[in-house]
Amino acid sequence: MPVPKADAATLGAVLAAAKQRLAGRDIDDLALEARLIVEHFSGTERGDAIASPDRIVPADRLALIEDALRRRLAGEPVHRIFGFRDFYGLRLKLSPDTLEPRPDTETLVDAVLPLLRDIAAREGECRVLDLGTGTGAIALAIAAQLSSAFVTATDISAGALATAAANAEDNKLSERISFVLSDWFSAVNEKFHAIVSNPPYIRSGAIAGLQREVRLHDPGRALDGGTDGLGAYRRIADGAAERLMRDGVVAVEIGDGQRPDVNRIFAEAGYQAVSAHRDLAGTERVLTFAR
């Protein structure tokens, strides 16, 4: 059932049609995604379909909704259709060069902020290195939450850095964030109070089995963690010591079940595990370390 093709249609009818279009497809929460698409392209809010189901959606908006549904049915994630994703209260532009930041990664920000606040209280400021910044999600969230934080955000992709810089500008955080094109630590010579990263941690052989929304739309380089999924952690553990100030900390996002291996990698490099943090689904998602 397509979205009604007419000069106009009611909001209730459009929402019902959108849900029916997505039904039976491999979409985790089709009701939510249908609602998000209709709201975004009709210019309505969550309560409008309940309070004003007879509200008229004009033809030009119907065409936008129909196009978005076609793209979603073809496997494009809903937030890539929108061109942005909200993260830790910030609106971030997406691009083909960046991962779509996900709520799981907010766990890393939650985990590291108390440590950074302690450092800032002690030192007067906190200098943070964000490795593989992508959209800039982690770097921007830290800078937004901690006014004494100065963040250096790196990425191997010039396109990702351009996206992150635009997000910093949009969120008025550019003055405390610098962007560096770097393969991990290769172009980083300063020392920092903290190093944070959401690195690629999917095993190379598992990429083909990921959901099409991820496999076809997130950049492979930002997903592929090598044969065992642990390559990035070895690079971070090997290089972090030379870039950490005394009493500095490292915080990394991990994949499901990777805690023992990542703990071992950092222990062999001379780090002590400080804490582990679970995401909202109860999965171990973030580890922190100190020298």
Measuring CA to CA, how many Å separate 105 from each of 158, 191, 244, 251? 22, 24, 22, 11
Calpha distance 93→84 (Å, rounded): 4
Which pair of tokens denotes residue 16?
């019902």
User: pLDDT value at position 230?
Assistant: 98
Give the domain 95-290 fold. Rossmann fold (3.40.50)
In the chain (291 residues long), the average pLDDT of successive 10-residue segments reads 65 95 88 96 92 93 96 95 97 97 97 97 97 98 98 98 98 98 97 98 95 92 96 98 95 97 98 97 97 87
Domain boundaries, the chain: 8-74, 95-290
Tokens 């009493």 sit on residue:
247
Which pair of tokens denotes residue 116?
């950074």
User: pLDDT value at position 24?
Assistant: 82
User: pLDDT value at position 36?
Assistant: 96
Q: How many CA atoms lie within 13 A of 123 on its CB side?
A: 20
Written out in words, the top-level CATH class of the domain with range 8-74 is mainly alpha
User: pLDDT value at position 4?
Assistant: 52
